[in-house]
Amino acid sequence: MKARQLRTLLGNASVSNVVARHGAAEMFD
């Protein structure tokens, strides 16, 4: 796998985690 693709996948996962955490925080607020 190319480093660029790997970086993109990690970036997408990071964004998804932040969004998921934010959504969970709002849900349990």
What is the Cα Rg of the chain in Å? 13
**Domain layout of the chain by residue ranges:** 1-29
pLDDT in tens, 1-29: 688 998 999 989 998 888 888 887 877 75
* pLDDT value, residue 19: 87
* pLDDT value, residue 8: 93
At residue 28, what are phi and psi to the nearest 5 degrees?
-95, 5
Distance from C-alpha of 6 to C-alpha of 10, rounded to nearest angstrom:
6
* pLDDT value, residue 29: 57
Output the six-digit token pair for 9. 């996948």
Distance from C-alpha of 14 to C-alpha of 29, rounded to nearest angstrom:
22
